[in-house]
Amino acid sequence: MFLNIKKWIGVFAYPFFLLTQVSLAQSQTTNFDLAYTTTLDLDFKASKSILSSLENTEIPMGDLYIANLNDVLELIFSENEERYNLLKKNEDKRLKQLQNSSSDSPYIDFFRAEIKMQWAFVKLKFGNTLSGVWSLRNAYKITEDNIEKYPDFKLNFKTMGLLQVIFGAVPDNQQWVLNVLGLEGDVESGLMHLKELSKEATPFTLEATLISSMIESYLLEQHYEALEGLKNNTSDQKTMAEVYITSLILMKAHNANAAALLLQQALEKEEANAPLLFEYLLAEALFQGGMYNQAKTHYLEYIDQFKGRNQLKDSRMKVAMCEYFLGKNASFKNYWEEAKQTKGATSEADKNAAHILEATTLPNFKLLQIRYAIDGGYYTLANRAVSKLNLEKLTIMEVHEVTYRKARLAHLKSDYTEALRLYNEVTSNADILPESYFIPNSFLQMGYIKMEDKENEEAREYLNKVLEFKKHPYKNSLDSKAKIALATIDGADD
């Protein structure tokens, strides 16, 4: 019963998690500041060394919290099962220390909830679904109690805000699981809590603003608003965690070129602690821009060095595609077969790769090239590829896919009149495109355009259409985005 809920939570939890950490710097010793910053810079050995000599801090159990953060970030980025089995006992050990504390500070239960939530994400990532979901429930309940005891303690609403967003984004057909667990979600309320915290003149303003930016980008598709928040609130000296978050939002905002520059700088930084995931993200950004030799180099580095499972199937498929676009047919076939034999993991990228690789025929690589170029914001490359297509040689399905891609191009270039015309052309052929995401996503995008034009009734009509589609590859994601957009309209109409 928990498999679907785990899959959905995993889509949003991991990137958000990196932004839920507490900035304690303004009230700590220099060594504590350094330990915290070093952890967020993903230099785990150095952070542990600093913590080992750290004296008591003004905030009760603050050093314990940073030590836990150190373990959890290491596991989320490395996916190293051996390290997971070694470190997972630390959760109970630290929770017992907190429970045995004689302090009546609100930080004690705040840290208990945070540690529960952090380890929930780790457990979900390593496949311990039941335990992970139950830990999220515990974090929620601890935070509820702490709010009741300390209603003026602002950080409670940081934890609760994030949990409300995650649970509120769960699709309607899976909300019953949350009801069984006694949990409630509300994206609008969660985002409100985080935005209110971001207005406070506290050390936590930056983190709350960054979480809000992630929500705006990942759930509301308000990428430019998200990036504006990052521009106003991040310093030039970014930690590795900040580089990761900023890169994700840039790529969501169809600006893979800017993401590539940021990731390249991080990887080339002297004595940097950039995780191997940066190699994969950089490869993705380069691949989308048609820089296949460079992309292949970074995909292979990730494949050779990464000890986890996620993105390996997708990486091998993309290496094969690089070879295809470079005209290396023999090498392409070898890598393609290798990708097919690679066991997929839980990431959306691997699931999408499995869908492509398991098809009975090879995909139309020219159409895939257009798709990835649009995703990365390389619109000139996409337009050039579209202009070279011979529509007479395409199947009916492929012709309609081209129309959909043209609609996305027009939309992203802010040509809304042309985008609406093309989206309508796609949706008028729903009977020809069964179980395709082109139709529901076209309705979703038309809903967004109408929302921007303040034509809420038309927007509501389009968004409700999204929910009518029962089976397509991105149903959970599109349904949740439609549901959140509908709630936004309802809130504006109140």
The DSSP result for 46-101, as a single string, is: HHHHHHHT----SSTTHHHHHHHHHHHHHHHHH--HHHHHHHTHHHHHHHHHHHT-
Q: Is residue 95 scored above 70 in pLDDT?
A: yes
- The answer to whether residues 167 and 86 belong to one domain is yes
Confidence at residue 172, expressed as pLDDT on a 0 to 100 scale? 62
Residue 172 belongs to a domain: yes
Domain boundary among 358, 376, 393: 358
CA-CA distances (angstroms) from residue 84 to 76, 138, 170, 324?
A: 9, 21, 27, 38
3-state helix, strand, coil in the chain (%, to 5): 75, 0, 25
Task: Please name the helix (run of DSSP H) or strand (run of DSSP E) that holds residue 368, with its range, or none.
Answer: helix 365-376
Q: Does position 313 have pLDDT exceeding 90, yes or no?
A: yes
Residue 181 has a pLDDT of 67
Handedness of CA 74, 75, 78, 83 (dihedral sign): positive
Q: What's the confidence (pLDDT) of residue 38? A: 75
Q: Which of 384, 332, 341 is nearest to 363 (CA)?
A: 332
Query: Do 210 and 344 reside in the same domain of the chain?
Result: no
Residue 1 has pLDDT above 90, yes or no: no
So what's the pLDDT on residue 272?
Answer: 65
Q: How far apart are CA 206 and CA 202, in angstroms?
A: 9
Check whether residue 30 and residue 103 sit in a common domain.
yes
The answer to whether residue 400 sits within a structural domain is: no
Q: Which residue has the tokens 């999220």?
A: 136
Confidence grade of residue 11 (pLDDT, cut at 50, 70, 90): very low
Helix axes 256-268, 365-376, angle to 10 degrees: 80
Average pLDDT over the chain reads 83
Q: Which of 361, 436, 448, 450 is nearest to 405 (CA)?
A: 436
Give the pLDDT confidence score for residue 93 in this predicted structure: 95
Sign of CA dihedral 352, 358, 364, 365: positive
State the Cα–Cα distance between residues 479 and 437, nearest whole angstrom. Answer: 11
Q: What is the mean pLDDT of residues 317-341?
A: 97
Residue 128 backbone phi and psi in degrees, to 5: -90, 75
Shared domain for 139 and 40, answered yes or no, is yes
Decide if 402 contacts 389 (C-beta within 8 A).
Answer: yes
Shared-domain flag, residues 300 and 174: no
pLDDT band at 33 (very low <50, low <70, confident <90, very high): low
- Is 428 a domain residue? no
Distance of CA 128 to the CA centre of its chain: 20
Domain membership of residue 256 (yes or no) is: no
Answer yes or no: is 117 within a domain: yes
Q: How confident is the model at residue 348 (pLDDT cuts 50, 70, 90)?
A: confident
Q: Would you say residue 314 has pLDDT above 90? A: yes
Is 417 within the bounds of a domain? Answer: no
Asked if residue 169 lies in contact with residue 208, where contact means CB atoms within 8 angstroms, the answer is: no
219 and 298, same domain (yes or no): no
Tell me which of 472 and 198 has the higher pLDDT.
472
Rounded average pLDDT over 179-201: 71
Q: Give residue 112's region: left, alpha or beta (phi > 0; psi -120 to 50).
A: alpha
> Same structural domain for residues 175 and 319?
no
Task: Kindly state whether residues 79 and 227 are assigned to the same domain.
Answer: yes
The total domain count for the chain is 2
Query: At residue 399, does pLDDT exceed 80?
Result: yes
Determine the structural domain holding residue 299 and report its residue range. 292-358
Q: Judge contact between 405 and 430, C-beta under 8 A.
A: no
- Residue 171's pLDDT is 60
What tokens does 174 get?
């899976």
